[in-house]
Amino acid sequence: MSHRSIDSTRLLGRIAELGAIGRDAEGRLVRLAASDSEKLGRDRFVSWLEDAGLEVAVDRIGNIFGIWNGTGGGEKPVMIGSHIDTVINAGIYDGCYGVLAGLEVIQTLKSEGLEPRRPIVVAAFTDEEGVRYAPDMMGSLVYSGGLDVTAALKTVGTDGTVLGDELARIGYAGSRAPGFMTPHAYVELHIEQGPVLEREGVPLGAVENLQGISWQKVTIDGDANHAGTTPISMRRDAGYAAARVITFLRDRAKASNTPTVATVGCIAFEPNAINVIPSRATFTVDLRDPDEDRLKQEETALAAFLELLSAEEGVGVSVERLARFEPVKFDQAIVRQIEAAARDRGLPCKRMTSGAGHDAQMIARIAPGAMIFVPSRGGISHNPKEFTADTELVAGANILLDVICGLATGELPR
């Protein structure tokens, strides 16, 4: 059976070209949201949209849309999306692959004279990574109505800048209201950023759900004292108390037969001196689980342990909620269409859970959606070693092509 195919040379060339934009003096890829380097990436993406004959729209939070109305200008669009901002010292595929593959799908269908019943839109959402401005996935969160755009634009970044001012400065403070298009369906193609597909030798993942995320900042207050003269039994050691929390989280997750994960990613001691018992420890806790009830159980268990810790170690404990997203269940009809497209091309496909957050989880609030994963070598991401083979990138883009074609021209199998 013959299949449409994307232009692999064009897709891979654009991935490489975008990956070269935003390199710092050390050669690291750093395209933080609304920065000068991200402006260069945005400008290049917009030039490709214009070259493809698409209508370009930018909303107030800086999300960029390339719109192909086709013959279905009055219908809700099929949307493909991801992001082009990066972490510090990033790889070239995270987010960018999904955006550029979306553009490639539209160009392929246009070149073949397809007349979709619905518009097809490719979106590059603002600040997915959340490195410069919090929370992460901000552009898609605002777009889906989960965060007021005026409040979001007032967000102060890690460098003291204000997001709204920076978007205006780089020329991407758009005029469209976030959410000006409600998608009929949303599909995001992404590298897995994990080891599952490579480990199992499967080239494609049909992502059926996405883990819930609970982010908290914990502050433990004790007493600073001399490291040599203070007996262990007389210490209110905030550093030791923090270590107990870390081991509690790790031991609990390791002993569980559930997919729960727990991570302490940031930690700081005060006064942070080699010969002084820490008077304060501040650290983050990242809890994730694809089941909401289990995630709540982990939050409850942590709260109970912190209360016990306070009593046993004589320390003060305070907790600040940083972010909380419930697990997302993607649309089963779209998941089945991804699987059907893979079967039709003779490619094995695995249903799976996404352990990372993506723009898709935000857009799922307003439209049915799903994700397609391709393997990540070694499970590495957010790292210049991030790698997916060209053949796998092309295969994923062709599955996206088939799925989008079905969504834009006909009904999904139910």
CA–CA separation, 320 and 343 (whole Å): 47
Listing DSSP states for 164-192 in one string gives HHHHHHHT---SBPTTSS--SEEEEEEE-
Q: Which residues pair with 374 in a beta bridge?
A: 191
Q: Is 129 annotated as a binding residue?
A: yes
CA–CA separation, 79 and 360 (whole Å): 10
Q: Is 382 annotated as a binding residue?
A: yes
CA–CA separation, 63 and 188 (whole Å): 15
CA–CA separation, 205 and 379 (whole Å): 14
The C-alpha angle with vertex 349 and arms to 393 and 113, in degrees rounded to 5, equals 55
Q: Is 83 annotated as a binding residue?
A: yes
Tokens of 401: 């092509």
Contact assessment for residue 328 and residue 210, using Cβ atoms and an 8 Å cutoff: yes
CA–CA separation, 201 and 28 (whole Å): 31
Q: From residue 305, how far is each of 43, 111, 151, 237, 300 by CA, in Å?
A: 50, 60, 35, 17, 9
Residues comprising the binding site for Zn(2+)? Answer: 83, 94, 129, 190, 382
Residues comprising the binding site? Answer: 83, 94, 129, 190, 382
